């Protein structure tokens, strides 16, 4: 089996992304990866990540593979949960306050920080538009996040998201109340939602 066939197999298994580490484990040297990239046989999308030239890059999946601390939140989670029709201009992630992200990731994202003990609250696996599984907050946690970060959000995005959440058959008010209590924003959540529900 030639190098491209091996890389195709890796790409098929890993949602189109070829990690240098995985390629090396499958017998393709770093220098061979470099040569294949120079010859246009593979395309570098991030440090240690490649795709085949005819494959589309799932940015959300690619970004998530670069840090185990990333959970998609705010505008990106609104989009992934289907309560915002607009694709975000930049991806929004939340990480624990005790962690940092690399410079390259920081340049690509809007980052929110949360206490370590609240980081996993409402975390779910969700499908990207390209069919990859990524970590994001569920819609109830996302509503808590956008209320908590109201001053950093565009009015139109916030209002539309709140209206769509109120109409959504997937909302879970018990979870919303639990998350709001844990995040100490129950009063604000009630204030916004009593108008809509």
Section 76-80 average pLDDT = 96
Q: What are the distances in angstroms from CA 93 to CA 50, 142, 184?
A: 22, 11, 20
Q: Are residues 142 and 91 in the same domain?
A: yes
Q: Are residues 96 and 34 in the same domain?
A: no
Domain extent at residue 143: 61-196
For 20-46, letters b (16+ CB in 10 Å) and e give bebbeeeebeeeebeebeeeeebbebb
At which of 40, 57, 74 does a domain end?
Answer: 57
Q: Does 69 score more than 90 pLDDT?
A: yes
Q: Are residues 157 and 180 in the same domain?
A: yes
**Against a cut of 0.95, is the pTM above it?**
no
6-29 pLDDT, tens digit per residue, is 888 888 888 888 888 888 888 888
125-176 pLDDT, tens digit per residue, is 999 998 899 999 999 999 999 999 998 888 888 999 999 999 999 999 999 9
Q: How confident is the model at residue 197 (pLDDT cuts 50, 70, 90)?
A: low
Residues with Cβ within 8 Å of residue 31, at least 6 apart in sequence = none
């Amino acid at each position: 089996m030639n190098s491209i066939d091996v890389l195709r197999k890796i790409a098929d298994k890993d949602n189109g992304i070829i990690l240098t580490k995985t390629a090396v484990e499958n017998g393709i040297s770093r220098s061979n990866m470099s040569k294949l990239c120079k010859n246009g046989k593979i395309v570098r999308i991030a440090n240690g990540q490649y795709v085949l030239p005819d494959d589309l890059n799932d940015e959300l999946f690619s970004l998530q593979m670069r840090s185990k601390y990333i959970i998609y939140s705010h505008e990106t989670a609104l989009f992934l949960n289907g309560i915002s029709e607009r694709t975000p201009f930049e991806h929004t992630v939340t990480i624990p306050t005790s962690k940092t992200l690399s410079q390259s990731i920081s340049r690509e994202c809007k980052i929110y920080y949360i206490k370590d003990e609240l980081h996993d609250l409402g975390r779910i696996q969700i499908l990207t538009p390209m069919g990859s599984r990524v970590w994001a907050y569920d819609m109830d946690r996302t509503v808590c996040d956008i209320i908590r970060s109201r001053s950093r959000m565009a009015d139109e995005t916030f209002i539309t998201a709140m209206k769509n959440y109120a109409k959504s058959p997937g909302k879970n008010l018990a979870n919303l109340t639990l998350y709001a209590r844990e995040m100490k924003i129950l009063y604000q959540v009630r204030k916004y939602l009593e108008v809509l529900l």
